[in-house]
Structure 1
Amino acid sequence: MLINTYYNTDTIVAVATASGMGAIAVIRLSGANAITVANSVFKGKDLTKQASHTIHFGTIRDEDKVIDEVLVSLFVAPHSYTKENVVEISCHGSDFIVQQIIRLLLQNGARLASAGEYTKRAFLNGQFDLAQAEAVADLIASDSALSHEVAMKQMRGGFSQEIKRLRGELVHFASMIELELDFGEEDVEFADRNQLRALITNIQRIIRDLLKSFELGNVIKNGVPTVIVGNPNAGKSTLLNKLLNEEKAIVSDVPGTTRDFIEDEINIEGITFRFIDTAGLRETTDKVEAIGVERTMQKLSQSSLIIYLFDITEITAVQVQAELDRLNPKKLPLIAVANKIDQASPEKIQRFESIEGLVTISAAEGANLDELKQALVEKVNLGKLNIQSQTIVTNLRHVDSLNKTYTALEDTLNGLDLGISNDLVAADIRRALYSLGEITGEITTDDLLDNIFTKFCIGK
């Protein structure tokens, strides 16, 4: 279903700023009658006679009672976010004032917006495609330089352009094969099969690259789950506190103090790391501590990066290597970190040089933490990432559609090799086109849109 214009005469209203007391709040209206509704409660210039992209000072009144002094911004259709008439009322940030203004607007013909309805209307009115609409939510949620940059590129259509280009190339051959079906009895061939195979092979290669990029895209969007593991009293909690610059975890000389995991995140060079301090790894008869150790092993299996921290004064290099092999059977990115170097002699430290990629620190004194941070960034391997030129997939829905497209194209190739009838080849290509169209919203359903936009905040 290709959607170009959204016909809905409702005027919707919602608070566009975060709830709670603040200096100002912004109340947003959108719809054919948005300016008329706002004008009915506004005392100042006649808003219905003002130009688009202008701001007007006045008061919001309930009959003769002044609710607040406000600034009203006008965006006349189609020159607005939703391509409808949009009004934004900037008032003082009192919850009471906001609710009073919204109450008046509802009484004068508006209705409360549902979650994501502004962006949904923008999509349905052709302001941008579905992938760009989803990038709006990613932009709002971005909490690092990289996640912001990726979301901005997608919102500006970087990913969409790639998908539309692939779909456009495939549409050409699909139309040629469909044309052949109209001349089925005349045995004509409009679509060169060798060119079609080459095109499909190339599209599959691009899709593989896009799917591969999701591993990095997911890291950029959601952060890197990084588990800190090691024996009791290795200094895990001290390290976490130093990395976070706060006393997040209890530090004690008593082994087994941390009995559950403690989680927090920091940003290093634009990458969000979600650090998880876990219970010390040891055999124990304490039931509570044993549960903590079990949860540590669960967190290890869910992590993307492991910091194995050990007390360099209490263990040998052979023991460390054996522990590394035991803890990381999946060969996840791992950094071995030798702690308490302030208590070890140079000769003792030198005995651990055989440990690959070893970082030596003193968590208590904060020594060499910058080296550890640099090692973390290098392990994530985003250093060679060129956000400006590389298309990054960050959305699971897009991954699912790309996988479906790849499978349909594989079926098309197999069908060509087997010499199946044109109508079956055409059906496989249509499946591929459908899945690609789902990404940008050229093909969509009400259920899909509801699933996407109900995850947005109300005022967006």
Structure 2
Amino acid sequence: MIPQETIVALATPSGAGAIAVIRLSGKDAITIASQVFQSVSGKDLSKQKTHTIHLGHIVDPSTGSGQVGKVIDQVLVSIFKGPNSYTGENVVEISCHGSTFIQQQIIQLLLRKGAKMAQAGEFTLRAFLNGKLDLSQAEAVADLIASDNEASHQIAMQQMRGGFSNEIAKLREELLNFASLIELELDFSEEDVEFADRTAFHDLLNRIEFVLKRLIDSFAVGNVIKNGIPVAIVGEPNVGKSTLLNALLNEERAIVSDIAGTTRDTIEDELVINGIGFRFIDTAGIRDTEDHVESIGIKKTFEKIEQAQVVLYLVDGLQLTVNSQLDNFITEIGKIQNQYPQKSLIVIINKRDLLSEETFTAINTRIDNYKAELSTVNRKLFTLFISAKQNIGIEDLKNTLLSFVNTGALRNNETIVTNTRHYDSLLKALEEIQKVKWGLDAGISSDLMAIDIRSALYYFGEITGEVTNDELLGNIFANFCIGK
């Protein structure tokens, strides 16, 4: 049931600022606002047209001398009459000065006039309940607010415009049409007739399966774009890990010194490269130590490697001057690849500017031989020579990191799934579609096939909100900010 109360909340971030916006929504929003607003031109707010803005004062009539009342602030009031508003209801937005005192005075006055405080996400919830947005579009509103790089912003905008919803709705509608024909066959089961063209139905199921698999596969990209790609910088002490982090971020984020074990805890920071967010984690140097605090940091290093999607293994090139050291270096690379086979590994040889050409060639040759061995086990190794201190090779490293992200879908404006709830529903819908395909090929009865079709339709509906419940809505909108 759609709530009838008029709600109010601060729509801009809390705290002092130049301007703050207080939002009212509900059937009495304009009536309540007109009780506390005095136009400079004497207009009656309740009689003004939709999508208009009015200058005046917010006045508390219960205070002040005589009939004048206490003026709280000079404001601009915007009117949006339902259904042509964000929530589909009457909406009033009061733009006042950003003093926290003024904000609270106006909100408390509106509460006394009959409004109630909005819950987290309640404005967007009402937009969903009034059919202004479907559920996936409503969730995209939260993603748009949280987007902090170009890629996540692009995905949220595409979803909010209904790109994902339209794809799912079209598939659901076509499946629903066939489901109706299958159900009709059940009504004439004694007649032994077929209303649904089995060949066309099989083609539809293949098409739905293809689209679902594409959307499911896109989640691997969408999830890291939305949350940032975690990158762990690991290696022995004093190989330049903190210097590399500072070079990547172009600031002195981590303490750098010649003392081994300076970094005893993980340091994290984010960098946006060509619109993609990367979360870099500078870890404690890996070595045997009796220092209790340093050993805790090393333990955390291995925990961060587990959490990372990409591992940057940094080595001091000056330490690789003889064959035995090179062999140990290759052995360490093999250990990391065996221990973390699912992670992308970039081996970085630091201090390129100090390496002789002889040493550079020897390292390169040994790595090339190792790569040739790797090709037989279908593994890749990415290697780069850099100088973190002299900022040599840093751009090559950034380009290598970008190569791990499939940005083709972004460039082609394809639908990318970023929401875990959507991903889960897509997986379940695919499972039911594959059951229907199997049943169609096996020639099972229409009544059994109809059960699986209904299940698939249910999971499609879960995504867009055609199938929902109060618990699901509560979980989704609880994550919104107040005022949205």
Is TM (by shorter chain) over 0.5? yes
Contact residue 135 and residue 151 of structure 1 kept, 8 A: yes
- Counterpart for residue 343 of structure 2: 332
Q: CA deviation at 1:86?
A: 0.5
- Counterpart for residue 378 of structure 2: none
Partner residue of 2:59 out of 40, 58, 61: 61
- 1:52 aligned counterpart, secondary structure: coil
Residues 90-129 of structure 1: pairs in structure 2 closer than 5 A = 90-129=95-134
Structure 2: any 5+ residue segments left out of the alignment?
Answer: 62-68, 368-380
Is 1:353 aligned with 2:364? Answer: yes
In structure 1, C-alpha distance between the alignment counterparts of 2:413 and 2:245, rounded to whole Å: 35
In structure 2, C-alpha distance between the alignment counterparts of 1:324 and 1:113, rounded to whole Å: 55
In structure 2, C-alpha distance between the alignment counterparts of 1:13 and 1:200, rounded to whole Å: 47
Q: CA deviation at 1:279?
A: 1.1
Contact residue 149 and residue 387 of structure 1 kept, 8 A: no
Partner residue of 1:301 out of 302, 306, 315: 306
- Counterpart for residue 439 of structure 1: 463
Q: CA deviation at 1:246?
A: 2.5
Residues 154-169 of structure 1: pairs in structure 2 closer than 5 A = 154-169=159-174
- Counterpart for residue 330 of structure 2: 321
Partner residue of 1:40 out of 35, 38, 45: 35
Which stretches of structure 1, 4 residues or more, deviate above 4 A after TM superposition? none
**What is the letter of the counterpart of residue 458 of structure 2?**
Y
- 2:78 aligned counterpart, secondary structure: strand
Contact residue 314 and residue 348 of structure 2 kept, 8 A: yes
Q: CA deviation at 1:96?
A: 0.8
- Counterpart for residue 402 of structure 1: 426
Question: What percent of counterpart residues are identical?
Answer: 57
1:395-414 CA distance string (max 9 Å, x none): 00000100110111122223
Query: Bigger shift: 105-114 or 443-452?
Result: 443-452
Q: CA deviation at 1:296?
A: 1.2
| RMSD value, Cα | 1.5
**What is the letter of the counterpart of residue 151 of structure 1?**
A
In structure 2, C-alpha distance between the alignment counterparts of 1:379 and 1:216, rounded to whole Å: 10
- Counterpart for residue 15 of structure 2: 20
Partner residue of 1:221 out of 219, 226, 235: 226
Aligned residues: 454
**What is the letter of the counterpart of residue 333 of structure 2?**
L
- Counterpart for residue 374 of structure 1: 399
1:48-100 CA distance string (max 9 Å, x none): 11111111111111121111111111111111101111110011111111000
Partner residue of 2:149 out of 114, 128, 144: 144
- 2:33 aligned counterpart, secondary structure: helix
Q: CA deviation at 1:388?
A: 4.4
Query: Bigger shift: 236-245 or 190-199?
Result: 190-199
- 2:216 aligned counterpart, secondary structure: helix
**What is the letter of the counterpart of residue 423 of structure 1?**
D
In structure 1, C-alpha distance between the alignment counterparts of 2:448 and 2:75, rounded to whole Å: 63
- Counterpart for residue 372 of structure 2: none
**What is the letter of the counterpart of residue 350 of structure 2?**
N
Contact residue 153 and residue 388 of structure 1 kept, 8 A: no
Is 1:282 aligned with 2:287? Answer: yes
- Counterpart for residue 376 of structure 2: none
TM-score by length of 2: 0.91
Partner residue of 2:87 out of 61, 78, 82: 82
1:421-447 CA distance string (max 9 Å, x none): 321110110000000011011111111
In structure 1, C-alpha distance between the alignment counterparts of 2:399 and 2:191, rounded to whole Å: 67
In structure 1, C-alpha distance between the alignment counterparts of 2:57 and 2:337, rounded to whole Å: 65
In structure 2, C-alpha distance between the alignment counterparts of 1:167 and 1:319, rounded to whole Å: 58
Residues 193-208 of structure 1: pairs in structure 2 closer than 5 A = 193-208=198-213
- Counterpart for residue 424 of structure 1: 448
In structure 2, C-alpha distance between the alignment counterparts of 1:290 and 1:194, rounded to whole Å: 65
Q: Return closer, same or farther for 1:32/1:264 CA change in 2, 3 Å cut-off.
A: same
- Counterpart for residue 472 of structure 2: 448
Residues 266-277 of structure 1: pairs in structure 2 closer than 5 A = 266-277=271-282
TM-score by length of 1: 0.95
Is 1:344 aligned with 2:345? Answer: no
**What is the letter of the counterpart of residue 358 of structure 2?**
E
